[in-house]
């Protein structure tokens, strides 16, 4: 478990996102220990081994924009899924002001 690659870390971190909340790629990358590796995170999602253990639909862009998602109807299914989880939406984007995962900002 010490030799886990960046991907493995992501696969272990993404499912930690609470329901009704979403995290940005850069955020996950930072939690992974490498802020700025947002691209590598995206790659991990694409290589997503199991949608059941890696809810990649909870990962959105920095502006809350739904990116990626090769499953179902793509971002369409992704949006519906997040919406179903109780995530706030602003048009086609997620309301990061209310639904962004604040695991490391939840010090209040």
Partner DNA sequence: AGATTGACCGTGT
Partner DNA sequence: GACACGGCCAATC
Tokens, residue 65: 């924009």
Catalytic choice (37, 44, 56, 60): 56
Cα 19-31-33 angle, rounded to 5 deg:
160
Site for DNA in 8-47 (CB under 7 A): 24-26, 34, 36-43, 45-47
41 vs 30: CA distance, rounded Å:
10
Nearer CB in complex with DNA: 20/26: 26
CB of 28 to DNA, least distance (A): 9
Closest separation in Å from C-beta 18 to DNA: 18
Q: Is 32 a catalytic residue?
A: no
- Neighbour tally for 40: CB within 10 Å: 18
**Least CB distance to DNA at residue 65 (A):** 7
Sole binder of DNA in the list 70, 97, 106, 108 (CB under 7 A): 70
CA-wise closest residue to 97 among 31, 24, 35: 24
Phi, psi of 54 (to 5 degrees): -130, 80
Binding residues for DNA, rule: CB under 7 A, are 5-7, 24-26, 34, 36-43, 45-48, 56-57, 59, 61-63, 67-71
| Residues taking part in catalysis | 56
């Amino acid at each position: 478990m010490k030799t886990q690659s960046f991907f493995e870390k992501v696969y272990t971190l993404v499912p930690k996102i609470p329901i009704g909340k979403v995290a940005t790629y850069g955020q996950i990358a930072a939690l992974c220990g490498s802020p700025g590796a947002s691209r590598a995170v995206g790659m991990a999602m694409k290589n997503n081994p199991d949608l059941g253990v890696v809810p990649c639909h909870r990962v959105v862009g920095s502006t809350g924009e739904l990116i990626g998602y090769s499953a179902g109807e793509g971002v369409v299914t992704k949006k519906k899924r997040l919406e179903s989880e109780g995530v706030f939406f602003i048009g086609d984007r997620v309301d990061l002001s209310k639904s962004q995962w604040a695991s490391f900002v939840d010090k209040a």
